[in-house]
Structure 1
Amino acid sequence: MITDPQGTILALFLAFCRMGGCVMMLPGFGSGRLPPQIRLFAAVAISMGVLPVLWDLIYPKASAPGATYIALIFTETLIGIVYGLIARLYTLGMQFAGTILAMSIGFTAPGGHDVVEDATENALTNLLTLTGLLLLFMMDFHHVVLRALVESYAATPVGAVIDSQKMLITLTDTLRASTMIMLRLASPFLIYGLMFNVAIGLVNKLAPQIPIFFISTPFLIMGGLFLMYLSIAALVRQYADGFAPIFTSF
């Protein structure tokens, strides 16, 4: 029997602020293609699941509502958003790598609807983004995020002073590490595009009368797609393997 219904609801709402802020920004869960009701119910279910585990850490701060409780709502939501942004920045890196890849191999077809987000994206970038996100779900990346959220109550307890500088450093370090990984994944296509265009430029200098653009573009795209066929499995696998080290390092 619940002896303090009001305190229980307030404690659940505090847990919901941190979990819901993270779910709101998580890739896949926070997608524009996902109905808001599903995101809301997922955040509530996660909050109800972790509340018994974190009861002794949350309930003492929520049992006495007041002006302090309003401040706790904002701080808890901010902490959850930062954890969700770490995962979101990493997954957005695949769009960055896909854009570099498509430009390097000359695959500049008109953009279509993004499968994950409500935006316009190249078909090749769509393929890589969706494949990488599906592989992350298959490897239970959300379990890594939820475990980090539960452990965050020890690192940043409810009611603790938030270090905004530390949060910004964490986000910038995540962005730097993600950019380095994505550039490494797209580097074969960058080298291929550079070598191909240098070779075509030399041919054009030797025979200026040849319409080199119309002749070279099909070969550039065909070679780039063949290179992608050979390397897409390793590319997506390295992308999925890089998520846990980056997320857990912060």
Structure 2
Amino acid sequence: MQPFWFLRALAPAFSLCPAFPVRVFPCRSRLFLALACSLMVVPLVLPQVAPAVKSAPLLLMRIVVVEIIIGGMIGVLARLYFWALQFMANAIAMATGYSGAPAGAIEAEEPQAAIASFITLSALCLFFISDLHLEVFRALLSSYSVIPVDGIFQPGTAMVNVTDTLSKAFLSTIRIAAPFIVFAVVVNIAVGLINKLTPSIPVYFISMPFVLAGGLMLLYFAMPDLLRFFSNETGSYLRNF
């Protein structure tokens, strides 16, 4: 078995794919899972990759490098929506006043607010429940017909795909954070006006419990629709990947 047969599956499925966060799955576990799923992929793409076995050593080295790059691009494109959601989840935590005590994160590498971890963890669970992780494998199998093993990788096209995906991801996630941003603007304007009317009273400290309660109440009512919207947007993108 040639090593480059599973190099394309190694990066997207278990190194960069949002279905398997780095903090939850150790590197060794992800490596064995990648190898197991790669062995499942090999019979399906064997007719396409078998001719490359007889390539010259230099050509084989180029194929290996291209396979790793293609796999990394698939993983990055699949994870961009979750990176955008992490950013907006931290913005939601800041808007509702819950960003003061960062804790351990599930999907992110660094600590983040509890509200942000709750949002990303819920989105990750919905990612599995909706079987969207299978769409990553479908995109992996489809990539062998779009870009053969001995094909030419086009960096310009890849960068266009990355920028388009970033634009779609942040446009979708900013819609998720929009109610909380509006809430923060309205609350801060109201608190500022009250503080101007009564400068002798520490309005900011008095209003903080109400701001936290209002943000938590807004999250309680909006969370199902926000997660449903994110799942639909992510699923639509992965299905058309």
TM-score, normalising length: structure 1: 0.92
Residue 19 in 1 paired to residue 14 in 2?
no
In 2, the alpha carbon distance for the partners of 1:20 and 1:235 equals 31
In 1, the alpha carbon distance for the partners of 2:138 and 2:19 equals 18
In 2, the alpha carbon distance for the partners of 1:65 and 1:59 equals 14
In 2, the alpha carbon distance for the partners of 1:235 and 1:167 equals 29
Amino acid at match of 1:78: I
The alignment covers a number of residue pairs equal to 240
Residue 166 in 1 paired to residue 157 in 2?
yes
Match of 2:198 among 207, 214, 229: 207
Residue 96 in 1 paired to residue 75 in 2?
no
Match of 1:186 among 158, 169, 177: 177
Amino acid at match of 2:9: M
User: Percent sequence identity over matched residues?
Assistant: 31
Structure 1 residue 32: Cα displacement: 3.0
Structure 1 residue 179: Cα displacement: 0.5
Preserved CA contact (<8 Å) 1:17 1:80: yes
Output aligned runs, 1:76-115, within 5 Å.
76-115=67-106
Amino acid at match of 1:103: M
Residue 247 in 1 paired to residue 238 in 2?
yes
Change (3 A) 1:243 1:115: same
User: Which 4+ stretches in 1 moved above 4 angstroms?
Assistant: none
Output aligned runs, 1:13-162, within 5 Å.
13-23=3-13, 24-162=15-153
Alignment deviations for residues 118-157 of structure 1 (CA, whole Å, 9 cap, x no partner)? 4211111011111100110111111101111111111111
In 2, the alpha carbon distance for the partners of 1:208 and 1:223 equals 23
Structure 1 residue runs of 5 or longer lacking an equivalent are 1-8
Structure 2 residue runs of 5 or longer lacking an equivalent are none
Structure 1 residue 210: Cα displacement: 1.7
Q: Superposition RMSD on alpha carbons, in Å? A: 1.4
Structure 1 residue 175: Cα displacement: 1.0
Does the residue aligned with 2:99 lie in a helix, a strand or coil? coil
